[in-house]
Amino acid sequence: MTLQWTVVAIFLYVEIAVILILCLPFISAKRWRSLFNLSIWNWFAPYWNRGFFTMILILIILFCDALREVRKYSNAEPMGEAKLNPNLFDHLHMKLFRAQRNLYISGFSLFLWLVMRRVVTLINQVAMSTVTGTSLQNQVESANQAAKKYQEDNLLLKQALLDEEKNTTAGKRLLRKEAEKLMEELKTAEDAVRKSNAEVEAMKRQANGLTKEYDRLLTKHNELQNLQGGAGDKKDQ
């Protein structure tokens, strides 16, 4: 095996090992994403896409070269000539085997390189969806808690309104009773005022009558005094 195909084979084994490690069930997507977000990968980030497509191009070139070799040694003409010479026949079979091996190595390397890129992308997507799902679940739980709180506040507000309405109704009843009581007291006071006014009028009439009687008696008294005074004068004469 030449040096280039040795490197490709080692690269294939590394790809298989990396894919197997990425598929381990006890390592979650969040942990892989945290590993992918390490600062060391930021150094390779500007060259990642360029290196990825460069590797694809190299593997495609090697695959085409291996395919050309397989077609070359699978041709009917060299195989026909090799049948005449047993050593040449074995040599061509060895060349064909190596070409087929190189074809499989380059093909699987190219395939696993694309698969590994896709697996890493899917792990990132799963981790992001998990984080998004967790945040959405937290938002839903907070929304449910807020809705329950609003519902409880609404019930408390309704209860407060009912209590206030009951208190208002009771207050209106008390005010109504007090108003009726005041109206009765007012009527009683009005009756008492009327009665007192009637008594005052009667007392006024009685006072006027007494005043007139006093004036009449005073007039009579004066007349009697005048008569007595006139009779005394006559006697003195």
The tens digit of pLDDT for each residue in 29-38 reads 778 777 777 7
Residue 153 has pLDDT above 70, yes or no: yes
Give how far Cα 177 sits from Cα of 27, 86, 166, 171, 236, Å: 80, 132, 16, 10, 86
* pLDDT for position 81: 54
Q: What is the pLDDT of residues 39-68, one digit of tens each?
A: 776 777 677 778 888 989 999 998 998 898
* pLDDT for position 202: 78
Q: What is the pLDDT of residues 75-109, one digit of tens each?
A: 655 555 555 556 666 777 788 888 888 899 999 99
* pLDDT for position 96: 82
Mean pLDDT of 112-126: 86
User: Do 61 and 157 meet the contact criterion of CB atoms below 8 Å apart?
Assistant: no
* pLDDT for position 57: 93
Query: Shortest CA distance to 66 belongs to which of 113, 115, 109?
Result: 109
Those residues with Cβ within 8 angstroms of residue 120's Cβ, 6 or more apart along the chain or in another chain? 22, 36
Query: Shortest CA distance to 73 belongs to which of 97, 54, 50, 51?
Result: 97
User: Out of 8-17, 109-118, 212-221, which region has the weakest mean confidence (pLDDT)?
Assistant: 212-221
Those residues with Cβ within 8 angstroms of residue 201's Cβ, 6 or more apart along the chain or in another chain? none
Mean pLDDT of 163-185: 79
Give DSSP secondary structure letters for 56-97: HHHHHHHHHHHHHHHHHHT-HHHHHHHHH-HHHHHHHHHHHH
Burial class (CB in 10 A: 0-12, 13-18, 19+), 29: middle
Query: Shortest CA distance to 8 belongs to which of 118, 96, 110?
Result: 110
* pLDDT for position 61: 92
Q: How far apart are CA 196 and CA 189, in angstroms?
A: 10
Q: How far apart are CA 12 and CA 31, in angstroms?
A: 25
* pLDDT for position 60: 92
Q: Which residue has the higher pLDDT, 176 or 77?
A: 176
* pLDDT for position 234: 53
pLDDT band at 135 (very low <50, low <70, confident <90, very high): confident
User: Do 126 and 29 meet the contact criterion of CB atoms below 8 Å apart?
Assistant: yes
* pLDDT for position 92: 75
> Residue 98 corresponds to which tokens in the numbers above?
């190596």
- Look over the chain and give the mean of its residue pLDDT values, rounded to a whole number: 80
User: Do 32 and 22 meet the contact criterion of CB atoms below 8 Å apart?
Assistant: yes
Please report the beta strands in 24-183, taking only residues with DSSP state E, as ranges in sequence order.
none
* pLDDT for position 203: 80
